Structure 1
């Protein structure tokens, strides 16, 4: 989840804002790293190329974050930010590449504690944290970097510099992309004279909240020989997609236009991954059947997609499409069960805090309550923390990222 009504789409689904002069943005041409065979299965996390994309003093960092509403109280240092392109695997475990953002503090420490931050929904490649020129996309990672952490923010598959379309709300590939970005950051850090400590503090917002839980679970279960999860703090996620979020989407509990975009993204993305329909006109009405898959292939700016879709679900979906979402069956039901199991079907053995905002108009707050109950049933105490009233671009959901990031940064600084 992650919609900006004024910008015209999910998160920052605009073409991106002009670089802030106060940010001292300095983009550099990608610098090729030494690589081996592109198809090697054991090359996951190998850095293919890198570029320094931001360099800011502490004062510049605070001003840059504040220009888009981020709380810069935790920022004590300047930052250097790098885009990494690295080797990973796609949804079918075939070799591919992805990109992500690594933000390092200018604090002189040689060994750095690591935060993994996974971002919210976006569909346009150029809005991803490692490539966008705005503040919103990389703002959380820069906050953690300015607080003294090595902040690692994957773009996910198919966004940023990654090939192909993004498999939206696909926790398994979000997990592998996040894990391999951690490995890439560890491989790259010595080039700057730094090393990453083994324990990882895991957080994420909206779509990234589910991704954060997937990564934390993988680390707890020993998916990497080096990294270990230290704590996890997801913010405003759609954790119970099938049981809570989807009924809210089709039942009128989120704004109609948001429902249209999320339903479109779900059906087109999950069709690529799970095979839900043969041709778009089975589930989408014309003229939208002719254009909707193009809207979500990574090449269409958010504002264009937002304007091109209708205002209500009945205008968008055929009777079959409407019934598919009202009463999921077959492959869609199986995919929803898989999603729920990946996010909620485990018991964290590390400190957990669940951040939410009341009256969330996108990722309805019942998702967080459902996750807390699932953890409680497994004997896990996971405090639910309401971030209070915060609105960003007319959205409480987006506002929760700003306050939730500030609260998470403060909590992570207390953990050793």
Structure 2
């Protein structure tokens, strides 16, 4: 599946889908109101839209089967676009972010919208709006006849700055603003969104999906109606499940070192975990860990240059603190631990694999219990004896069918 190059042009008269095939998508000029009447500088305002890929129904189905993902829900080919839009950083200051908007190449004019939030990535070029390999989920859901909004998050894709990894609040604001940007961009493509919203995501994106759904239900995404939620393998319970699993063997060493290092470096910019990396990381890792998470290093390079185990990564003092969190670490865990602390008014299914050694299935079970305590009935769907990435492959086709099978209320 080859990337289709495209170039932005300035926004002019109404752009039709047929015209896009010839000239590419219109980039929105600064200061010109968007299609939904936004004023310049507003959150969710579209800055530019650039076509990045186009695939036939056959190509989409073939690519899914090659990754052992069920292709039965595929009905259409897909068109994909990189959207640059305005949002805010963790401190509420104006910034921009990018994301992928994918639409079916056929079907109706008015489309429901799927929000698909991606998993952990340290390299900005791995994000959906940039990397073809990160678009599988978007292509699947778009091929069923819906538009798909896949935010890159802050600091990934072509957005500025460093990614505030596992900062739930800014991930949600970037995702909400991507919803609004997708509505504008869809209009430029000659399509319109109904406002019906189906929310899914994998790994980090599973946790973001639950928090996003809570925000949408609470009225933070005007014009969108939450219909169903189906996250996969999300680290919903950082303090009670995921963090203890780093030291008790439930999380494998390679993933544990990677996730924890990324979390500590990113969260230290938001919470006072350390003043000097040597307070947390042993040498020689203390001298290199912050540079490794600059958004330019590949995951495998980061892993190769860090310790083989969490115990060997951390100082004795901080390893003890990891087992009994306090201070900035505890604040970071608590600040990002409320994704399931609400009562959904729509159907929710939590998908997980029971051999996941990245995000143990206990996260989903704890989330379900927390939701039940709020009065919600939520199913945990165990997708079998599969690992972390296997859980996503096993769940995707079922989620696509579920979203298409009468969940709208």
Normalised to the residue count of structure 1, the TM-score between the two structures is 0.89
1:73 aligned partner = 72
Matched residue SS, 1:344: coil
1:408 aligned partner = 399
Tell me if the contact between 1:355 and 1:384 (Cα under 8 Å) persists in the aligned partners: yes
Unaligned runs of 5+ in 2: 10-26, 33-38
Q: Map Cα deviations across residues 9-67 of structure 1 (whole Å, 9 max, x no partner).
A: xxxxxxxxxxxxxx243122344322229xx8951111112211110111111112223
Tell me if the contact between 1:25 and 1:56 (Cα under 8 Å) persists in the aligned partners: no
1:313 aligned partner = 310
Tell me if the contact between 2:30 and 2:40 (Cα under 8 Å) persists in the aligned partners: no
Distance 2:366 2:285 in 1: 34
**Structure 1 segments of 4 or more deviating over 4 A?**
none
2:241 aligned partner = 244
Q: Map Cα deviations across residues 47-105 of structure 1 (whole Å, 9 max, x no partner).
A: 11221111011111111222333322111100000010110001111101111001100
1:398 matched to 2:389:
yes
Measured after TM superposition, the shift of residue 351 of structure 1 is: 0.8
Matched residue SS, 1:43: coil
State which of 335, 354, 357 in structure 1 corresponds to 2:353. 357
Measured after TM superposition, the shift of residue 224 of structure 1 is: 2.3
Tell me if the contact between 1:115 and 1:151 (Cα under 8 Å) persists in the aligned partners: yes
Unaligned runs of 5+ in 1: 1-22, 391-395
Distance 1:234 1:130 in 2: 20
2:278 aligned partner = 281
Tell me if the contact between 2:229 and 2:349 (Cα under 8 Å) persists in the aligned partners: yes
Distance 1:30 1:260 in 2: 40
Distance 1:329 1:315 in 2: 21
Distance 1:41 1:313 in 2: 47
Distance 2:358 2:295 in 1: 21
1:205 aligned partner = 202
State which of 29, 32, 35 in structure 1 corresponds to 2:7. 29
State which of 223, 228, 232 in structure 2 corresponds to 1:231. 228
1:385 matched to 2:363:
no
2:35 aligned partner = none
Distance 1:162 1:174 in 2: 13
What is the 5 A alignment of 1:247-258? 247-258=244-255
1:193 matched to 2:190:
yes
Distance 2:185 2:321 in 1: 45
Distance 1:80 1:363 in 2: 32
Measured after TM superposition, the shift of residue 269 of structure 1 is: 0.9
Q: Map Cα deviations across residues 130-177 of structure 1 (whole Å, 9 max, x no partner).
A: 10132xx11011100011110110011111011111111111111001
Distance 1:315 1:35 in 2: 50
Q: Give the length in aligned residue pairs.
A: 385
Superposition RMSD on alpha carbons, in Å? 1.6
Distance 1:281 1:62 in 2: 49
Q: Map Cα deviations across residues 231-251 of structure 1 (whole Å, 9 max, x no partner).
A: 111111111011110000122
1:151 aligned partner = 148
2:300 aligned partner = 303
Matched residue SS, 2:336: helix
Matched residue SS, 2:312: helix
Matched residue SS, 1:388: coil
Tell me if the contact between 1:41 and 1:95 (Cα under 8 Å) persists in the aligned partners: no
Q: Map Cα deviations across residues 261-315 of structure 1 (whole Å, 9 max, x no partner).
A: 1111111011012121111111111111111011112111112111111101232
Measured after TM superposition, the shift of residue 192 of structure 1 is: 1.2
Matched residue SS, 2:297: coil
Matched residue SS, 2:303: helix
What is the 5 A alignment of 1:119-198? 119-134=118-133, 137-198=134-195
Tell me if the contact between 1:236 and 1:368 (Cα under 8 Å) persists in the aligned partners: yes
Measured after TM superposition, the shift of residue 389 of structure 1 is: 3.8
Tell me if the contact between 2:273 and 2:328 (Cα under 8 Å) persists in the aligned partners: yes
Measured after TM superposition, the shift of residue 374 of structure 1 is: 0.5
